[in-house]
Amino acid sequence: MATLYYFEGRGRGEFIRLCLSAAKIEFKDHFLYERAEFLKLIEDGKLLFNQLPLLEIDGKQLTQSNACARYVARKAGLCGKNEDEAVQIDMVSEGGRDFMTPFLPIGFKPEADVLADAKKKALPKYMPLFEKIAAANGTGYLVGNSLTLADLSVLEPLLACVEYFGMECFNDYPALKKVYETVTGLESISRFLKSSHRQRKNDERYVSEVKKVLAW
């Protein structure tokens, strides 16, 4: 079984958890709480860049969250049926990561400030762009006619939008709302969101655990 080594929280781990769940790959969350555990992983040569997350899968030690996500997505055939789809998925996925970036500091900076900034800048920029992509594709997915890495990459910030701003965030974006509903309606994703793999919002405990393990 695959094992994801990360903190007990979302951060850079949640996208990999989402991809593993979508790929229907069973995995175990190994949470790190102590600095010694982190130093042991480094000492054992398991962290290529001395960074978490670490995904142990197929006898490999994978790091760099986007490389982990693409590996899992390739295994599950979520990277497109041909080169046209592959490059479109890659572009949209990168955009999804950009859209997620402003949400990552929640808790490390005051939540209200981070959210106000996301609402002011990231949502007005990205929601119309992903709406356009969703409407042009018109299948309920962002690329092609089935789930791909592109949907998963964009789903993570959309989940944050809905959690913090409510479904009203889709008021002007019906095609993107349909993508959200299609993807969250898939059995694999719906099960993930209700499972213990889905981590809670960033809170003080998570932030203090991260700081302790990384000696920030």
Q: Does 56 bind its own copies (CB under 8 A)?
A: no
Listing DSSP states for 65-111 in one string gives: HHHHHHHHHHHTT-S-SSHHHHHHHHHHHHHHHHHHGGGTTBTTB-H
CA distance 25 to 2: 8
Buried b (16+ CB within 10 A) or exposed e, 12-43: bbbbbbbbbbbbeeebeeeebeeeeebeebee
Name the residue nearer to its own copies (CB basis): 87 or 116. 87
The percent helix, strand, coil of the chain (3-state, each to 5) is 60, 10, 30
Name the residue nearer to its own copies (CB basis): 55 or 159. 55
Name the residue nearer to its own copies (CB basis): 91 or 116. 91
User: Which residues 68-97 are close enough to bind its own copies by CB under 8 A?
Assistant: 70-71, 74, 83-84, 86-87, 90-95
Binding span for its own copies by CB under 8 A among 62-70, 179-187, 190-198, 200-208 = 62-70
* Among residues 19, 20, 22, 62, the one that binds its own copies under rule CB under 8 A: 62
Q: Does 50 bind its own copies (CB under 8 A)?
A: yes
Q: Does 63 bind its own copies (CB under 8 A)?
A: yes
CB of 103 to its own copies, least distance (A): 17
CB of 187 to its own copies, least distance (A): 27
CA distance 129 to 136: 11
CB of 140 to its own copies, least distance (A): 19
CA distance 21 to 3: 13
* Among residues 39, 48, 167, 214, the one that binds its own copies under rule CB under 8 A: 48
